[in-house]
Amino acid sequence: MATKRRYDDGCGVALAMDVLGERWSVLVVRDLLLGPKRFTDLQAGLPDISPNVLSQRLRDLQTTGVLRVRTLPRPSASRVYELTEWGAELEPIVMALGLWGSRTPVMRREGEMRADSLMLSLRSAFTSQDERGWTANYEIHIGSDMFSVRIAGDRLAEMARGQSATPADAIITTDNKTLGMLVNHEEPTDAAVESGRLTLAGDVAAARRFLTAVGL
């Protein structure tokens, strides 16, 4: 931290920017909101960042207490990066930034939304279907990425990377572009299913209910 530029301002906003103001830092946090990642996973989600810069950002965020390094149990034994309890408190801030940025009046939305970003946008967009008692577990496969989602009491109670210990009631399999089109109402669900770009398994009605609930 000694070589980093500081604002030397006691305001909480300035202190937050001392921690997160370097380029890529907030995006690293964003990509860890749904669970731990290996260095290579972070690289895949941020393809324009160089390995050296990513290593530096991870060191900075670890030094400031935003994230920590953990070694997974055998047989994996991989080193992963995960948010600390304090770092996880950034979730509503990052989500609010995403909503604010998506409404920019002057900048055009460009670039592909990757799996983590897309799932976070679904969580932001989720609205109850006013069906008291709606409880279901979902598995969502986006390319090679898999996420688990739990709906309880008509609210999105949990979203995480990987498979849940609880069996899924419905499984949704698709790709980034198709899922983005579905939730933005740019393509009907039936058309995506007929084309083979969307597969609904298990409780198909529950899968369709979920896609409706996360429509933007």
Of 82, 89, 46, 86, which Cα lies nearest the Cα of 67?
A: 82
Q: What is the mean pLDDT of residues 166-175?
A: 95
Q: How confident is the model at residue 182 (pLDDT cuts 50, 70, 90)?
A: confident
> What confidence tier does 75 reach under pLDDT thresholds 50, 70, 90?
confident
The pLDDT of residue 3 is above 60: no
The CA distance from 113 to 124, in Å, is: 15
Closest residue by Cα to residue 171 from 141, 193, 128, 129: 141
Report pLDDT digits (tens) over 21-62. Answer: 999 999 999 999 999 999 999 999 998 999 999 999 999 999
